[in-house]
């Protein structure tokens, strides 16, 4: 009995960490208006509907924790990984439904793929009070096949700060008139320096760090936070992950994103922490346990 208990203690944590694979389903998008929002305000102000499938890396995330449901955005960065914000998964959801190739939330279009997973990792240094390290990875239960509707995004690298560049935020976030847009929308904004962002007021000064990237719009054209976890793009390259913004967009306050170039190493390490590695570890431990039990 002692040997059995020892094996259980060693193996069960790895077995529990493995995602439960589910069959694909399209029913999860039947009631998009019923999902709640995570990460506070989610608005795209002054934006317009984008051309269908112009952003084939955009992902819909329906996040389930007990009886609660949450809505986030994300981006496909490989045939197995989706990038999003840590605050989208910090509640340790039971499972996440990932939609790829989606433009309209009210109908299942051509090329849409939905997958369910419980395999995700948030940055261990995420701080919900200061919004630092707001980044996470979601691992899909299978490799996806790239099509004209589903493609990975190019991530920013190097030391470019993109200050003064024109950027685009996309998502299904709340607009001026409705609680959730049923079609993918986009809005243009300008990337500002972190010094200018921090000097907006003392509250921004407290939280803005090099790991952040800020944007501003003109008048009421801008964003509060778009879809939490969604992308900030410069010439089609993802430079940021939607993190936080003010409650009232019309105040003209900056929107803040997680800066991709500050997390290149973390993304690489997270991609290496694979489901396959967990599976291999569990198998090895099981083999050792069997040897231990019967010798």
Catalytically active residues, by annotation: 87, 134, 228
Per-residue tokens: 115: 């997958």
Please return the burial class of 57, using the count of CB atoms within 10 Å of its CB with bins 0-12, 13-18 and 19+. Answer: buried
For residue 55, report the phi and psi dihedrals to the nearest 5 degrees.
-125, 75
Cα–Cα distance, 83 to 220 (Å, whole number): 28
Q: Which residues contact 87 (CB under 8 A, 6 or more apart)?
A: 38, 39, 126, 128, 131, 134, 228, 229, 243
Cα–Cα distance, 144 to 230 (Å, whole number): 20
Cα–Cα distance, 230 to 238 (Å, whole number): 10
Cα–Cα distance, 159 to 210 (Å, whole number): 11
Distances from the Cα of 261 to the Cα of 74, 86, 165, 267, angstroms: 17, 16, 15, 10
Per-residue tokens: 93: 């959801």
For residue 242, report the phi and psi dihedrals to the nearest 5 degrees.
-55, 125
Gyration radius of the chain over CA positions: 20
How distant is the alpha carbon of residue 19 from its chain centre? 18
Distances from the Cα of 193 to the Cα of 129, 168, 252, angstroms: 22, 17, 16
């Amino acid at each position: 009995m002692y040997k059995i208990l020892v094996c259980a203690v060693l193996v069960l944590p790895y077995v529990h960490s493995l995602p439960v694979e589910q069959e694909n389903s399209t029913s999860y998008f039947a009631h998009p208006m019923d999902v709640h929002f995570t990460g506070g305000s989610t608005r795209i102000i002054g934006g317009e509907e984008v051309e269908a499938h112009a952003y084939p890396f955009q992902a819909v995330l329906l996040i389930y924790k007990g009886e609660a449901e949450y809505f986030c955005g994300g981006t496909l960065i490989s045939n197995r990984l989706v990038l999003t914000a840590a605050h989208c998964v910090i509640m340790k959801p039971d499972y996440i439904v990932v939609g790829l190739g989606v433009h309209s939330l009210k109908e299942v279009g051509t090329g849409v793929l939905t997958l369910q997973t419980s395999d995700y990792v948030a940055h261990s240094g995420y701080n919900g009070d200061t919004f630092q390290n707001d980044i996470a990875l979601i691992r899909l239960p299978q490799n996806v096949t790239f099509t004209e509707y589903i493609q990975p995004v190019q991530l920013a690298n190097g030391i470019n700060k993109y200050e003064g560049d024109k950027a685009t935020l996309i998502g299904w976030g709340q607009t001026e008139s409705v609680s959730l847009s049923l079609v993918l929308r986009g809005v243009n904004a300008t990337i500002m320096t972190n010094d200018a962002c921090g000097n907006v007021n003392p509250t921004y000064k407290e939280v803005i760090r090099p790991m952040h990237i800020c944007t501003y719009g003109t008048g009421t054209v801008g964003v509060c936070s778009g879809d939490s976890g969604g992308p900030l793009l410069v010439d089609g390259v993802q430079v940021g992950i939607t993190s936080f913004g003010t409650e009232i967009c019309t105040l003209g306050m900056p929107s803040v994103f997680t800066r991709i170039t500050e997390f290149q190493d973390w993304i690489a390490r997270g991609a290496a922490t694979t489901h396959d590695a967990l599976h291999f570890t569990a198998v090895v431990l099981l083999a050792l346990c069997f040897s231990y039990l019967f010798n």
